[in-house]
Structure 1
């Protein structure tokens, strides 16, 4: 059996939270990362950037529709955008090494944690907002003001920053003590003088390592998954009960949307959090390299599935809404009209401009309808 080691000494490794008796290579996990990192994670970054950028652009171009839900949607899209912006560097660090300095290491890892917590808590806030709007309709006018939503968002981001303090503090750029070849290709293993740096947790004593390595994933599990899941289950269960009493087609369609929102959340995040729970249970235990490698593979795969949620959020929370689709359609029409104005022949430029400007104005009036009083992009 292979030794249970991440290092080359028979000692305790504060950074990796395990007892060491020899080097482990984790070849199986590295092979999986080399497939998921460059290809699947790149696709997630592209889809996440496109989808969430469209949400932000739609909201920014048509500011008159700032309801409470719209403020939440904008903040979720911003959190997801920052998340996918951090992802490429995190993947590069896992596959090879950390390419930047210590300050950038702390900033990126801390920002990743902030966006993770903020995104999850905002999804819980959206669930609560829909609960108030549908189940507590009589109180919705008082509890769903734009000022109230901005206060909730400020509290969410503040909580996310506070929860991420350990990440800002304990992540460091350093040269690991184990073999450089772990981070290098086979054809570069004969270059011992090359220094390789990583951006990972680093501790100086056993007590700090134990407390932090237990507290950080436990908090992520509790606040980043269990709390939003409980809020979503409670709110959407009450919403479904209320909608089923309405007995019309549109309400039943809304029920299917609610079920899809909960199902996607569970499918994306439950596997990773189960794996995270297993990792917490096995911390500070002597384990074989094979067992640790298998757990790392499971964590890598399930974490990638969890990353997919940032691509699905725009579809589930924005594009399913009729009003949001109308505003997005208006952006496309405006861009099309603008393009037609500038590519038309010069001798017809004045006529073309007047025609499309008038058409754009009429389109705005028809799409806006009664939305001047403010409405939500969602159901």
Structure 2
């Protein structure tokens, strides 16, 4: 995740007048003050929206859609990934404005939840894209194999997410800074002597796993599907939903990934001057706030692009319209979607 920079002076010195020997130290962007000011309101809102939105998505999947379709199982796991991600946000807020008093174990657990939630969502988003690709391009063989391998694929995917998050988990711990204890679950404390290696490794990891691979897979699958006549014949609403989910996710995280890359390799990119370092530090924090909103955007995308989601949401809050598992036909003017019997509870 993002690399920690303590609120001390940069090594860079500004020389205002080369005729004098006076130099002015370049002061670092105050990360702690920025976090204390902006994180609590933004992350409180993201936490509430993410918790409520993903809870509604899970309820609709369980109660109405069911899990006979493999794609719904993947949607459920994206929601679970978002839950793991969003439950860490109150700890971000606490860490920003108070001294950390919860110990190393909790610090490592929160770091693990955050990273596993992020990489889990990335992996299941890739599975959704590949699932649509196989369903359209290799429709015959894929349908038979999908049912047999689904749960093995899900288990393996969570295992990959845990392995990807392992470095952040191991590097997270509590440390005294500015007379307060800080949990470095988003600002890892690197082993002495290996700081550059771990900074570069973690930055390349999040850029490759979280940006480059999903982008290449999405481009390849979309290009292949567009060439098939079957794509034009089949309804593409589900693919459009998945494609927009991927587009929104990468759109939110790309600015952070790129800025983080620039800051990590700033010495190699001639960005080590005082002004560039200051702006990169500030940009990393600002883009990270934007990136973390992905955990509450997923239900909004479902609501906008999945017509049945809005119908089921209506059913969820109007239980009296439901009789013996079926909702009576609702007047068309009451719903923005197609008419007809809307709710059918799935029994397991």
Q: Please report the TM-score for the alignment, with normalisation by the length of structure 1.
A: 0.71
**Does residue 74 of structure 1 match 2:76?**
yes
Q: Distance in 1 between matches of 2:259 and 2:36?
A: 20
- The change in CA–CA distance for 1:205 and 1:62 in structure 2 (over 3 A counts) is same
The farther-off stretch of 196-205 and 50-59 is: 196-205
**Does residue 213 of structure 1 match 2:209?**
no
**Structure 1 position 53, deviation (Å):** 0.6
Q: Counterpart of 2:180 in 1: which secondary structure?
A: coil
Unmatched runs of 5 consecutive residues or more in structure 1: 11-20, 181-194, 338-355, 375-379
Q: Distance in 2 between matches of 1:288 and 1:94?
A: 28
Aligned to 2:291: 306
Greater share of residues in helix: 1
Aligned to 1:277: 261
CA offsets 1:241-282 (integer angstroms, 9 cap, x no match): 44796379x65x667656634442332121111112112212
**Structure 1 position 136, deviation (Å):** 2.3
**Does residue 363 of structure 1 match 2:347?**
no
Q: Distance in 2 between matches of 1:70 and 1:364?
A: 25
Aligned to 1:41: 43
- The change in CA–CA distance for 1:297 and 1:128 in structure 2 (over 3 A counts) is same
Aligned to 2:143: 141
Q: Distance in 1 between matches of 2:182 and 2:133?
A: 45
- The change in CA–CA distance for 1:327 and 1:286 in structure 2 (over 3 A counts) is closer
Q: Within 5 A, what are the aligned runs for 1:230-269?
A: 230-242=216-228, 246=232, 251=236, 257=241, 260-269=244-253
Q: RMSD value over aligned CA atoms?
A: 3.6
Q: Distance in 2 between matches of 1:197 and 1:138?
A: 58
Asked if 2 retains the 8 angstrom alpha-carbon contact of 1:6 and 1:22, the reply is: no
CA offsets 1:326-354 (integer angstroms, 9 cap, x no match): 444332332xx2xxxxxxxxxxxxxxxxx
Unmatched runs of 5 consecutive residues or more in structure 2: 12-23, 330-340
Give aligned pairs, total.
317
Aligned to 2:208: 222
Asked if 2 retains the 8 angstrom alpha-carbon contact of 1:52 and 1:77, the reply is: yes
**Does residue 131 of structure 1 match 2:133?**
yes
Q: Counterpart of 2:174 in 1: which secondary structure?
A: strand
Aligned to 1:296: 281
Q: Which has the larger radius of gyration?
A: 1
